[in-house]
Copies of this chain bind each other. A is one copy, B any other.
Amino acid sequence: MKLLDGAIAAVDHGGSLGRASALFPHAPRPFVDLSTGINPHSYPLFELPATALSRLPESERLRELAEIAARTYGAPSAAHVAAAPGTQILLPRVASLVRPGKALVLGPTYAEHARAAAIAGHAAAEVDDFDALADADLAVLVNPNNPDGRVVERDRLLDLAARLRAKGGLLVVDEAFMDVGPTEQSLAGHVGQGGIVVLRSFGKFFGLAGVRLGFALADRLTVERLDAQLGPWAVAGPALEYGIRALADTKWLCDMRRRLAGDAKRLDALLGRFGIPVAGGTILFRYLSLPAVQSLFSALGERGVLVRHFAERPQVLRIGLPGSEEEWQRLEGALAAWASRRDDAPKETAP
């Protein structure tokens, strides 16, 4: 158990081209950014009505969004949905739903959860054993997990939620990548019983991370408390318009799940050709664990292909899906260059 008290400093994330440029100044541009788990096939862009920018967002439109989100995510009703400008800004608010105590985060995972719990005044720690979460006042896990794709079954989560609820605690399940399944493990349909907050991210699956839209699914009273903190007009006009249209587009959702599953298979095959085993992940990103991870990270970066490494776990990488054929080819070329250098290495050291 690693203590994280006071660890409120900013966290390193993927997805920054500015940082990539500093790290790999001689890499060919544009970068192929595989450092996030964001879908490269964005929901089709459309022209926004001018009023989406000029006018204050209408509360009726926000209600409509909550209704569609409830239906798509499987929450009991719109009253069980708080919409926010991204899930990120919700994290300290959700952590503040419980008075400061012991926050346990099932790790290794997305680092912002421990940071948000610390900001909310909790003594925050990461644990690697699911059963240890029952000791918490605030228990947090990501399901399926980022970056390794670990899935905890719904029944175990419901059991944990019941134990926490009995002592006034809270279970937070970040389902940021649940759009690509396994949806039968989602807790969205169970938030009505209280003591559970499910977080859902709009930008990742829909490939629209810039619009900033995320949701907390919870019992009605908790949703009211979160809504009060966010105030009116928390969701911007563009996010409202894209959210309403995209979340209701069930055909696009189904087609995209199938397409991404195919892309993930293709990525696994490509990595396999170069002897890189895939240790986990979701169909939006793959999780690699191998000893040569640093040389792979650098070799790809120098060829303008960015993947995600983790300062504290130097043996793993996360790699997102290429979008265009050109991106696939650049990844393949970079992998080939890395493999040939690796294959050469023994000869050099043992002439």
Q: For window 23-57 of chain A, which residues contact chain B by CB distance below 8 Å?
A: 33, 36, 38, 42, 45, 50-57
A236 to B203, CA, bound (A): 11
C-beta contact mask, A41-81 vs B, less than 8 Å → 1, else 0?
01001000011111111111000000000000000000000
C-beta contact mask, A93-122 vs B, less than 8 Å → 1, else 0?
000000000000000000010001001000
Q: Nearest B residue to A53 by beta-carbon distance?
A: B210
A58 to B20, CA, bound (A): 11
A260 to B77, CA, bound (A): 45
Contact between A211 and B231 (Cβ–Cβ < 8 Å)? no
Q: Which of B33, B89, B238 contacts A211 (CB 8 A)?
A: B238
Contact between B50 and A89 (Cβ–Cβ < 8 Å)? no
Chosen A-B contacts, 16 in total, with CB atoms closer than 8 Å, are A15-B55, A17-B58, A38-B54, A38-B55, A38-B56, A42-B53, A54-B207, A88-B232, A89-B89, A116-B231, A210-B236, A210-B237, A210-B238, A211-B236, A212-B233, A236-B239
Known contacts A85-B236, A212-B234; can you find 17 more A-B pairs with CB under 8 A?
A: A10-B232, A13-B56, A42-B53, A45-B50, A54-B207, A55-B210, A56-B210, A85-B234, A86-B233, A88-B233, A89-B231, A116-B231, A209-B233, A210-B237, A212-B237, A236-B236, A236-B239
Q: A88-B232, A236-B236, A238-B210 are in contact. Are A16 and B58 (CB under 8 A)?
A: yes
Q: Which residues of chain B have C-beta atoms less than 8 A from A315's C-beta? A: none
Q: Which residues of chain B have C-beta atoms less than 8 A from A239's C-beta? A: 236
A239 to B234, CA, bound (A): 13
User: Does A208 belong to the interface (CB within 8 Å)?
Assistant: yes
Contact between B58 and A228 (Cβ–Cβ < 8 Å)? no
User: Does A338 belong to the interface (CB within 8 Å)?
Assistant: no
Contact between A228 and B119 (Cβ–Cβ < 8 Å)? yes
Q: Which of A11, A18, A60, A232 has the most B CB atoms < 10 Å from its CB?
A: A232
User: Does A230 belong to the interface (CB within 8 Å)?
Assistant: yes
Total number of A residues with any Cβ neighbor in B under 8 Å? 53
User: Does A198 belong to the interface (CB within 8 Å)?
Assistant: no
Q: Which of B53, B59, B89 contacts A18 (CB 8 A)?
A: B59
A42 to B56, CA, bound (A): 13
Q: For window 205-222 of chain A, which residues contact chain B by CB distance below 8 Å?
A: 207-212
Q: Which residues of chain B have C-beta atoms less than 8 A from A53's C-beta? A: 42, 45, 208, 210-211, 238, 242
Q: Which residues of chain B have C-beta atoms less than 8 A from A195's C-beta? A: none
A228 to B59, CA, bound (A): 28
A242 to B36, CA, bound (A): 25
Contact between B89 and A16 (Cβ–Cβ < 8 Å)? no
A231 to B51, CA, bound (A): 28
Q: Which 9 A-B residue pairings sit nearest by Cβ, starting from the closest?
A: A210-B237, A212-B236, A18-B60, A85-B85, A88-B231, A15-B56, A56-B209, A42-B54, A53-B210
Q: Which of B50, B231, B235 contacts A91 (CB 8 A)?
A: B231
A228 to B210, CA, bound (A): 19
Q: Which of B8, B16, B45, B234 contacts A228 (CB 8 A)?
A: B8
Contact between B16 and A234 (Cβ–Cβ < 8 Å)? no
